[in-house]
Amino acid sequence: MFDSYEKVFASVEVRSEEAIDMSKKDNGGTVILAYLNEKNRPYSSQDIFCNLQKQHGFGKTAVVKAMELLALEGKIKEKLYGKQKIYFADQTQFTNVNEGDLKELDGQISQLSAEVQTLTQSCRQLDAGNIQVKAFGLSLLGYRRKMEVQHSGVLEEIHELKELSAALTTEEMASEIQELKAECSGYRARLEKIKSATNHVTPEEKEKVYKDREVYVKEWKKRKRLASDMMDSILEGYPKSKKQFLEEVGVETDEDSKVVVPST
């Protein structure tokens, strides 16, 4: 009869009305009581210790004392089988299960067991089919790699053919050589003309030009800054915009002439 009850305990889902929240003060009694009510199946103190120790850090002695206290208070039930004590939730708090309900549950269990067996057989057949599919897939993979190697060789030949097609013919290369020789002759003639000229700029003259340029650029920047400062002072009390002021006095800026002060 206890085996039948155990099946009922395993199939009935019970949500404990007490929150699973323990403190060290009650030696885990609250947690253990809630756990037994939730699982609704028999456990030994060793089972409870193994199931809750990792999450709550209970000691084995504390678990044994807590379960004995709960049984003494009548909150859980205790059965002695040989030298081992078994604890389970007080069944009076649950809805009574009659013999008809037990038979119905047994029927459901038998039906589910048959379905599990059928599904297991189907899984085995699928596994066998998967092995064949994998073998076929490996065969296809080998064929694909073989085709990739052949394709790579064809691509190399096509690339080589394109390079040969793009190369100049002997006649085209001879014509291009003649054009390059003519171009080189023109450059040589131009170079000789420059060398034979009498109006060469000496290094001293070149240096003087660079120094003069530097002086003029500095003066340009200086005058532009002075003019800008003067206009800013005037514009502080001028009722019109800067653009209108420049138009009235006839000042043409670098920007108007689209010139930029060169770097020194």
57/31 Cα distance (integer angstroms): 12
Q: Give the pLDDT of residue 26.
A: 55
Q: Give the pLDDT of residue 87.
A: 92
Q: Give the pLDDT of residue 264.
A: 65
Q: Give the pLDDT of residue 263.
A: 78
CB-CB contact of 74 with 80 (8 Å)? no
Query: Is the full-model pTM beyond 0.85?
Result: no
Q: Give the pLDDT of residue 42.
A: 92
Domain ranges of the chain: 2-93, 98-167, 168-200, 205-249
For the beta carbon of residue 36, count every other beta carbon within 10 angstroms. Answer: 24
What single string gives the DSSP state of each residue in 35-90?
HHHHH-S-B-HHHHHHHHHHHH---HHHHHHHHHHHHHTTSEEEEEETTEEEEEE-
129/137 Cα distance (integer angstroms): 12
Contact partners, residue 245, CB within 8 Å, separation at least 6: 231, 234, 235, 238
Residue in 62, 20, 30, 31 with CA at minimum distance from that of residue 45 = 62
Q: Give the pLDDT of residue 23.
A: 47
Which CATH number is associated with domain 2-93? 1.10.10.10
Average pLDDT of each block of 10 consecutive residues along the chain (264 residues)? 47 38 59 90 91 87 92 91 88 75 77 84 78 72 77 76 74 86 87 76 86 91 91 90 89 86 78
The two tokens of residue 42 are 């028999």
84 membership: H or E segment, kind and range: strand 84-89
Distance of CA 151 to the CA centre of its chain: 35
